[in-house]
Amino acid sequence: MGIPKDRPLALIILDGWGHSARSEGNAIALAHTPYYDDVCARFPKTTLTASGIRVGQSPESAGNPEVGHVSIGTGRPATSESFRIEDAIQSGSFFENEALTHAFAQAFSNGRPVHLIGMLSDAGVHSSIETIFGLLRMAKRFGVTDVFIHGILDGVDVPNRTADIYVEALEIKLADIGVGRVATLCGRYFAMDSQGNWERTARAYTMLVHAEGDRSEDAVSAIRNSFLRGITDEFTAPIVLETELGTPVARITEGDTIIYFNHRAESMRQLVRSLSVPDALGSAKPTFNSVCMTEYDQDFGLSVAFRSERSSNGLTEVLASAGIQNVKISQSERFPHITYFFNGGRNTELEGEKHVLLPTPRSETADQQPESQSFKIVDTFIHNLESAHGGVYVVNIPAGDLAAKTGKIEKTVEAIQYIDTCIGGIVEHVRAAGGVTIITSSHGNCEEMSDVLSGEPHGTSTSNPVPFHLIADGLNGTALRSGGSLADVAPTILAILGVEKPDEMTGSDLRTS
């Protein structure tokens, strides 16, 4: 089946919408979804691998929005920075990395401390605990004795109320390696905001530079005291560790070296901009020697340990070469994913490409407004569809994933039910225009919101497959193969449009007839 180029093709990406036969803790199974159920019953469907090696991650890694969108948009497994870093540590090349060796050598030569800033988590989504250990071993090799860790607490990608365990394990490792000390702690709500809430970033900044925050001589006790006050990992207010004399263990001062060890970019940009990029807050700031583990922003002009490997000849580039317009629509949280990540590491619009951002209000939270911007996304899609002829529309609806990350299954069920209505709005308009709709997801989350063994609620990404639905009139006899992955989405779209797949795409058409 192919469609004329003057007919629309809509790709709906439902972040967090995974597939699981298990009903317990499955917000999708618990939700009332009449339209989606009808799609499942009437149109061709299959499931796709959205985690592990087939999307460019280590075998045991869960899926996530970044690698999911890269794999969907480029038609090949993502080149995952986390996997590259992990591989470099295992091979030993990490310890010869030019940016990192220069940073430690400079700190040793100048007699200055090194500050390691990043998230203390083994989820692998934003950071890796092995990266911290690798940096500590490098510090010891270079003879740098003053190494201070400024830990960001997770509680989202790992179970809540576990920050004390991670910090305790880190302190044991520090003693084992023989270098390093925890200097500050702060929840990701403050240190990793990516929605322009600069007042949160300012709290993290003043903690790091001015030692402003709750004081404590013991990191683990400070976290547990926070738990007793009902404040969990993510929302932990800045904590400044003190010496026995009541002075801060460390502040970041002029001439110090900072290594940001998170590998995921978007959640580090505000903090890095406030600390290491001149005039971000409109005032004079100290100057630091800064290294980013990956390329957080090309415009920062900072040293980068592992630069992005950009993919060429992805779906957007092929569509542009074929003269087919494409429109990408999402809200603030996932706008980088359907632009930068979907395009394999490119932010600029090509000819015929249009990016539409729907800002998420700063006051909005997923548990208070589970539908988020879903209905505005649909309205925007319809407006663009009606004002053009044909073209490809990439529509990202993240409300389910955002709600699932709160760990509140009842709110996630609400989000899923709103999304069901939105799916209907998009699909019916595309069908009326004689077009094709594809529904898939970047990764799973909503379908597994309780631990399989303990039954405890959680909101972390999963390793489950994700659905793939092909919706159009006249699909009698069309079948979809099993065993596919997200890398097969772009080749399938090109095949439907009658456009030749480039050699760089390793995926293939999911249709068997």
Q: What does the alpha-carbon distance between residue 60 and residue 32 come to, in Å, rounded to a whole number?
A: 32
Location of structure tokens 């940016």 = 99
Give the model's pLDDT for residue 101: 98
What is the arithmetic mean of pLDDT over 193-213? 95
Interval 40-44 mean pLDDT? 96
Report how far residue 261's alpha carbon sits from residue 118's, in angstroms, rounded to the nearest whole number: 5
Q: How confident is the model at residue 283 (pLDDT cuts 50, 70, 90)?
A: low
> Residue 284's pLDDT is what?
66
Number of residues that make up the chain = 513
Bridge partners of 240, per DSSP, are: 184, 215
The least confident of 13-17, 244-248, 278-282, 387-391 is 278-282
pLDDT score at 299: 87
Dmax of the chain from CA atoms? 78
Q: Identify the structural domains of the chain with CATH numbers, from first to last.
A: 8-78+314-451+462-497 (3.40.720.10), 82-306 (3.40.1450.10)
pLDDT recorded at residue 23: 93
Burial class of residue 106 (count of CB atoms within 10 Å of its CB; 0-12, 13-18, 19+): middle
Tell me the pTM.
0.87
For residue 488, pLDDT beyond 80: yes
pLDDT, position 9: 98
Question: CB of 447 within 8 A of CB of 464?
Answer: yes
pLDDT (tens digit, 9 = 90+) per residue, 419-454? 999 999 999 999 999 999 999 999 999 999 998 777
* pLDDT for position 222: 98
Burial of 246 (0-12, 13-18, 19+ CB in 10 A): exposed
Question: Strand order of the sheet with strand 239-241?
Answer: 214-216, 239-241, 181-187, 147-153, 114-120, 257-260, 289-294, 303-306
Q: Note the pLDDT of residue 261.
A: 98
Give 48-102 pLDDT, tens digit per residue: 999 999 999 888 889 999 999 999 999 999 987 888 999 999 999 999 999 999 9
| pLDDT at residue 338 greater than cutoff 90 | yes
Mean pLDDT of 484-503: 97
Q: What is the mean pLDDT of the chain?
A: 94
What is the pLDDT confidence band of residue 6, given thresholds at 50, 70 and 90?
confident
Q: Give the residue-averaged pLDDT of 216-238.
A: 97
Query: Are the C-beta atoms of 395 and 377 separated by less than 8 Å?
Result: yes
- The predicted structure's pLDDT at residue 1: 57
How many angstroms from the chain centroid is the CA of residue 484? 22
Q: What is the mean pLDDT of residues 319-344?
A: 95
More confident residue, 108 or 513: 108
Please check the confidence at residue 280 and state whether its pLDDT lies above 70. Answer: no
Indicate if the pLDDT at residue 224 is higher than 60. Answer: yes
Q: Which pLDDT score, from 0 to 100, does residue 57 have?
A: 87
Is the confidence at residue 484, as pLDDT, over 80?
yes
